[in-house]
């Protein structure tokens, strides 16, 4: 009977957040006042311990329930909150310049930010000091289709291979606004036509190659590197980042990219009166809205200032996040953009989710990022309090299980 009891007890260990004993030589243990997990159960654990092993989260739980491996390195910060590393969905500072523009054609599908990545550049140090551990760095918005972005860690060692998580990370599409200033001047009808005809060519290429791979065609279609990187889009393995502002343009683009072509869509910016498209967005549960960097809009029809994120939320959109469009707003101020969204009507807990788990889901990287769960990358930050409270500061940043920023040794802010 005693043996059966022990077997049952051991079987419950994973449910309690326990795992097999961690190797003391490789483990890094954090004892903190609070862990905000941002997991599916929205757990908040007080007086908590997080154990890191081989760059991954190995154990999470209350300090009284966790046996710390003898000889492990322990970071004692009982006054701090441990929060997932912030994820920035719209960034231009991961490369060798503050932005990446190529105005040769109105659509430049062959352009990639991957070739411009400079790991751990000065902007990434500032990002870490603001709690940002992952970014999607994308081309500029002077073209309707300016190329493919790259998802990378803000501390990724000395090589591009160490820093990059996924490439291509998204296809950047911009409609209205900046592309209208293309050198000979274009209207919105032509921009919609141009984006559509490019996506049609890419889709036709993908379908032909897929038919041959599945044995439906005897003769292999010519391989064209120009269109190869589009194929993950049509397999829904990566996303399109949609740079849009006003509701008319956003409505047309959603219908085209997500509706007509079935591409997983992340709506960047979505400011001014774009929240009016909420009913259309809700028709496709895979669409994510990452609002910013403008957090307010004066609505002339109602003669009042409105919080953009708050209006999306009031419209029923729950897959809602925040971006900075760095360097438009510095990447280290991602948390502050979420703060502003709350000042103008959003909810603090949802705003924190909007800079952690939601953008990780939007980029299809939530199997590695965005929450504190066993098995995920050990990417998290220790704050003096709620990151959405502008009085709080980021004191310690851990990326892939390594301390990459310590304000007690070199405070950036």
Tell me the pLDDT of the chain averaged across its residues.
Answer: 90
Tell me the domain boundaries of the chain: 86-370
pLDDT at 321: 98
Q: What is the pLDDT of residue 246?
A: 86
DSSP 318: -
Predicted local confidence at residue 357, as pLDDT: 98
Residue-wise pLDDT for 1-35, tens only, equals 434 333 333 343 333 343 344 444 478 999 999 99
Alpha carbons 258 and 187: distance in angstroms, whole number: 22
| Residue 302, pLDDT score | 84
Residues of the chain with pLDDT below 70 are: 1-25, 97-102, 183-184
Query: Taking a C-beta distance cutoff of 8 angstroms, is the pair 331, 91 a contact?
Result: yes
**CB-CB neighbours of 232 under 10 Å:** 18
* C-alpha torsion angle, residues 186, 191, 195, 197 (rounded to 10): -80
Axis crossing angle, helix 247-254 with helix 188-213, rounded to the nearest 10: 20
d(CA 344, CA 342): 5
pLDDT of amino acid 156:
75
- Check residue 97 and give its pLDDT: 66
pLDDT the model gives residue 56 = 97
Whole-number pLDDT of residue 24: 45
Dist CA 62 CA 56 (whole Å) = 18
Which residues make Cβ contacts (< 8 Å) with residue 385, sequence separation at least 6? 81, 391, 392
Q: Are 166 and 150 in contact (CB under 8 A)?
A: yes
Residue-level pLDDT at 186: 81
pTM over 0.85: yes
CB-based burial, 385-394: b 16+ in 10 Å, e otherwise: ebbbeeebbb
pLDDT score of 81: 98
Domain 86-370 has CATH 3.20.20.140: yes
The reported pLDDT for the residue numbered 179 is 79
């Amino acid at each position: 009977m005693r043996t059966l009891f022990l077997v049952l007890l051991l079987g419950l260990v994973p449910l309690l957040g326990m795992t097999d004993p961690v190797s003391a030589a490789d483990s890094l243990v954090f004892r903190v006042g609070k862990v905000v997990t941002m997991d599916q159960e929205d757990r908040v654990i007080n007086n908590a311990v997080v154990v890191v092993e081989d760059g991954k989260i190995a154990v999470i739980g209350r300090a009284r329930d966790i046996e710390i491996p003898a000889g492990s390195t322990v970071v004692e910060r009982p006054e701090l909150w441990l929060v997932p590393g912030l994820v920035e969905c719209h960034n231009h500072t991961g490369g060798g310049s503050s932005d990446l523009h190529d105005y040769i054609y109105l659509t430049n599908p062959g352009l990639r930010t991957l070739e411009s990545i400079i790991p751990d550049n000065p902007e990434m140090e500032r990002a870490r000091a603001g709690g940002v551990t992952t970014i999607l760095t994308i081309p500029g918005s002077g073209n309707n289709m300016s190329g493919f972005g790259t998802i990378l860690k803000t501390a990724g060692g000395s090589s591009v291979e160490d820093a990059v998580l996924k490439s291509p990370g998204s296809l950047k599409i911009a409609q209205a606004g900046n592309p209208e200033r293309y050198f000979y001047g274009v209207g919105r009808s032509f921009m919609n036509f141009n984006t559509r005809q490019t996506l049609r060519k890419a889709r036709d290429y993908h379908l032909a190659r897929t038919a041959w791979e599945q044995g439906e065609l005897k003769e292999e279609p010519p391989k064209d590197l120009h269109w190869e990187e589009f194929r993950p889009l049509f397999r829904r393995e990566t996303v399109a980042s949609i740079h849009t502002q006003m509701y008319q343009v956003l409505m047309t683009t959603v219908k085209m990219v997500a509706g007509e072509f079935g591409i997983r869509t992340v709506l960047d910016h979505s400011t001014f009166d774009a929240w009016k498209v909420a009913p259309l967005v809700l028709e496709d549960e895979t669409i994510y809205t990452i609002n910013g960097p403008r957090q307010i809009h004066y609505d002339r029809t109602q003669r009042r200032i409105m919080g953009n994120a708050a209006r999306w939320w009031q419209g029923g959109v729950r897959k809602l996040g925040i971006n900075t469009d760095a360097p438009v707003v510095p990447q280290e101020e991602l948390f502050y953009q979420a703060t502003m969204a709350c000042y103008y009507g959003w909810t603090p807990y949802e705003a924190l989710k909007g800079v952690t788990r939601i953008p990780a889901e939007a980029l299809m990287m939530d199997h590695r990022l965005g929450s504190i769960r066993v098995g995920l990358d050990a990417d998290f930050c220790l704050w003096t309090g709620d990151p959405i409270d502008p009085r709080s500061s980021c004191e310690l940043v851990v990326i892939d299980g390594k301390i990459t920023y310590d304000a007690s040794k070199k405070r950036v802010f």
